Amino acid sequence: MFSPSKMWNGFKSYIYKNYGENPGSMLVHTGVLGWILSSMAQVYAVVFNNKISKEQKVFLIPQEIADAAVNILSFYTLTSGVKYIGSKLTKTAKLRTSDITDLLKKGGHILEKGQKRVENKVYAGDWNFDITKLDNYNSEIADKFKPFRNGAEVITGLIGSVISSNLVTPIARNKYAAIKQKQALSNMNKPSEKDNTSSVNYDRRISMERYQNLAASKYSSGSLKI
């Protein structure tokens, strides 16, 4: 029998299992979900708006779908990439708290100033150092490291989402739109190949002036801000 309470408890368990100790990933995934829902709403508004002519829809629907793809891809790529950098900096202990520093010093994992490096030994701050692989990680370090790593991932993920939403995504979307507009205008200026002696037939293509008006008046799907 269907039980809303069991379904809700299962949902909470899934969220905790996948994001309880990884809030940075939740930030990225919810941001992507937001872009998807926003883009779906934009396409839906165009498709079912009776005030928009079929001529306009021929232009607007593919443009909205293309915008959605650019928005989602650029947001996910940049935000997850910046979050990864934050995670890597904490895992290699390039970024660390004073408490973590003391524990690493205790284990001899920090190369002090003037100290000679032991050959083939990996020290804290080296790019291939992994604090989670230390023998005393679970017993001494984990309780102090996990909250710090989670906070670093959230902050870097947030920075990535802001840069993506307000800088990279609009630039990428505008460049893509400019390319598509150039292609469309080129197609509109191409005469029919049916018969050179007959009058030029543009089939159902819209005019250049009409296309430019649509492009200028088109509302952007990039309204989501993080």
- The per-residue pLDDT for range 129-163, each reduced to its tens digit, is 999 999 999 999 999 999 999 999 999 999 998 89
Q: What is the pLDDT of residue 156?
A: 92
Determine contact, residues 95/173, Cβ cutoff 8 Å: no
DSSP line for 184-219: HHHHHTSPPSS-TTSPP--TTPPPHHHHHHHHHHPP
Q: What is the pLDDT of residue 95?
A: 93
Q: Where do the domains of the chain lie?
A: 23-94+146-190+202-217
The per-residue pLDDT for range 85-127, each reduced to its tens digit, is 999 999 999 999 999 999 999 999 998 888 888 888 999 999 9
pLDDT > 60? residue 218: no
pLDDT > 80? residue 225: no
Q: Which two tokens stand for residue 144?
A: 């102090």
Q: What is the spatial distance between Cα 211 and Cα 213, in angstroms, rounded to a whole number?
A: 5
